[in-house]
Amino acid sequence: MPSTTLEFDAILFDMDGTLVDSTAGVVGAWEVFKETYPQIDVTQVLSSSHGIRTVENLRRFCGVEDPEEQEREAKRFEQAIVENSTKNGRRGIVALPGVREIIDELEVAPKSPHIRWAVCTSATRSYATAALKKAGIPLPDAFVVSEDVQKGKPEPDPYLLGAKLCGVDPRRCLVVEDAPAGVRSGRAAGCRTLGLLTSHTREQVEAAKPDFLVKDLSSVTMKNTEKGVEVTVDMD
């Protein structure tokens, strides 16, 4: 199996589908919302909503146009994810393979003038905080959520802000993403991109043109160095 090793100043992670698996709760939340918005085709929504801000999905699939209502409904939706993640025997919100080992390493980084890792998610701060805690992942010092940007993925704004919060040049960052929209966001920000096959087909992720593509983070090793993070990717 061929491998590639590169060094970056910081790693910018997406959350859902990258660090955590919240599929069980998301399915339950859309089923709850179908009671209010009967026009929803849950299967269609699940196939095309991942990686997009909740407010934008509500506009697209539910016809919610008023900004204040979008914010209220986004909070209700993301609360429904948490509440439904363990109902009816569902597995809950859990860390994906390889995540704990990587985060444990990044958390003990030596003193540095910049932050080594960030989470840049399309979720709200309330939900993202709850999801990371449920999965047992520490909250990052650099944390970009839906409310922090005017334009979400696939626009570059989330990852440009993530690099800024880390105090580094985005061209020296690696974006880790499972959604095509997120890969495109990272590329637009000037970052190198690592695509994961945790939520979309290989063809869908390849179409976004990530620099590297693996099954999940169990195929990736990250080690702290004096200047940054050494990343080894074992190609599938």
- Extended strands (E) in the chain: 3-8, 10-13, 20-21, 94-95, 117-120, 142-144, 173-177, 192-196, 212-214, 220-224, 229-234
Does the annotation mark 9 as catalytic?
A: no
Backbone Cα Rg of the chain: 17
57-85 in b/e form (b: 16+ CB < 10 A) is bbbebbebeeeeebbebbeebbbbbbebb
DSSP state of 49: -
* Continuous segment of H or E residues that includes residue 67: helix 67-84
Identify whether 236 is a catalytic site residue.
Answer: no
Distance CA 23, CA 35 (A): 19
One of 9, 16, 157, 178 is an active-site residue; which one? 16
Would you please indicate which residues are annotated as catalytic (active-site) residues? Answer: 14, 16
